[in-house]
Amino acid sequence: MADDVTPIGIDFDAYYRGDHRKLLGLAFVLTGSSATAEDLVQDALTEAHRNWDRIATYDDPGAWVRRVMVNRSRSRFRRIKSETKALTRLGGRREDIAMPTERSLEVWAAVRRLPPRQAHAIALLYWEDRSIAEIATILDCGAETVKTHLKRGRQRLAETLEGIEP
């Protein structure tokens, strides 16, 4: 077996070429920022590369990478939330970035306002077309928990997006 081939037959470069674009899309719908999405993907792929000998043996190495992305997205969300609270206490103001008015961007912006687990589940289902089982693996929870997150997320989106024209 060549040094650049993993036990299941895919090397990191092949995985990268096959999944990078999809990872960027998922990261964008999770964060709403191209620059942040690129950073998130780069961090997850760097971590995957460091551990590729082990990760490549998994049934779905991409699920591992997505779990890293979701966890780092969650950490980023918590950090921003803490920073916002601190700035508010100190009297600082953050400038809102105006989003384009296209319907899809409005919907994904609403998704990002959901509680993180609901947003992650919805992004993985609708953006990546992942199954409930795959989402459960990525989010490290049970299938019923994923269904609950999806149901609650959809309900909140329906309420949020009710007055917006299709």
Q: Which of the pair, 71 or 104, is modelled with greater confidence? A: 71
User: Does 77 score more than 80 pLDDT?
Assistant: no
Domains and CATH numbers, the chain: 1-97 (1.10.1740), 99-166 (1.10.10.10)
Write out pLDDT tens, residues 39-56.
999 999 999 999 999 999
As a whole number, mean pLDDT of residues 67-84 equals 75
Predicted confidence (pLDDT) per residue in 12-35, tens digit: 999 999 999 999 999 998 888 888
Q: How far apart are the C-alpha atoms of 127 and 81, rounded to whole Å?
A: 25
pTM, rounded to two decimals = 0.56
What span, in angstroms and rounded, lies between the C-alpha atoms of 164 and 66? 31
